[in-house]
Amino acid sequence: MKVSLSWLKHYIPVEMEADRLAESLTMAGLEVENVYNRYNYLSKVVVGRIIDTVPHPNADRLLLCNVDIDKKVVPVVCGAPNVQKNLLVPVALPGAQLIDGSLVEKGSIRGKLSEGMLCSEAELGLGTDKSGIMILDKKLAIGENLEKALKLSDMVFDIDLTPNRPDCLSIIGIAREISTIQKTSIKYPDFSLSDRCNKISDLTSVTIEAPDLCPRYASRLLFDITVAPSPFWLQDRLMSIGLRPVNNIVDITNFVLMETGQPLHAFDFDCLADSRIVVKVSKEGE
């Protein structure tokens, strides 16, 4: 199980350095197999300055950019609408891995050499804006690694849990363990639910036909839902532990699962057979 320090700190003030925390968790029976900075994937992304741009001779919407990365000037083909001379931008060099897992390679685009990629904040996992390249502060040092330049640091703990510790299969579970180690209090999520709408029993039902395998199943109906991208804070929480954001519905169920350890799933009510849920053991062919 992966747990990010930034997510943990939402529930408890972590007073130890990452290495000592890993050791303390291991000594408590939660073996930490690995500790790493989640922004390590930015190791081949540097701060660059666009020296000049000219139209691509073989493509109307592309520009040929010369980009200063301190030790040399690299040619980059780019189609972003906000490319301008003298801007400081993130430059992904050949071998860099973007947040979606794709690799940047040196190559030819419409017959012109491109030795990198000018990135948007969405492509780097640093925001949701896909409309153009990310514009950096002019005070940053040209050629500096982006992770260092932006002071990006969020340690992730990869924990190997034993079967007798299901209480730690969540961010709150790990935070609770840390609170015991540190002898500090934990802050649980503050939430409330309104039941002013119609009774759910008037609209649907849940039938459990395998109580030995599923003794309890709870459900709730939500109305007027629009499927859309999640806000960045939610996407960032999931990305911090290696989960890929999908949309607001899938993401919030994954968030609650990882936060509390409670499995849940969202169904499209209009697609449910007979508008109800039946919990049973599958038959051959199902």
Question: pLDDT class for 197, splitting at 50, 70, 90?
Answer: low
pLDDT of the residue at 192: 81
Fold of 44-144: OB fold (Dihydrolipoamide Acetyltransferase, E2P) (2.40.50)
What is the mean pLDDT of the segment spanning 6-16? 95
pLDDT of the residue at 20: 96
**What's the CA angle centered on 277, arms 276 and 281, to 5 degrees?**
145
Q: What is the CATH number of domain 200-279?
A: 3.50.40.10
Q: H-type helices in the chain, by residue range?
A: 5-8, 18-27, 146-149, 171-182, 232-240, 248-260
Burial string for 167-182 (b: 16+ CB within 10 Å, else e) reads ebbbbbbbbbbbbeeb
Tell me: pLDDT of 69 over 80. yes
Q: Which sequence spans correspond to the domains of the chain?
A: 2-41+152-182, 44-144, 200-279
Q: What is the CATH number of domain 2-41+152-182?
A: 3.30.56.10
pTM: 0.85
What is the mean pLDDT of the segment spanning 20-27? 96
CB atoms < 10 A from the CB of 154, how many? 17
Place of tokens 């801007």: 87
Interval 70-86: pLDDT, tens? 989 999 999 999 999 99
Bigger pLDDT: 192 or 110? Answer: 110
Interval 130-183: pLDDT, tens? 999 999 999 999 999 999 999 999 999 999 999 999 999 999 999 999 999 999
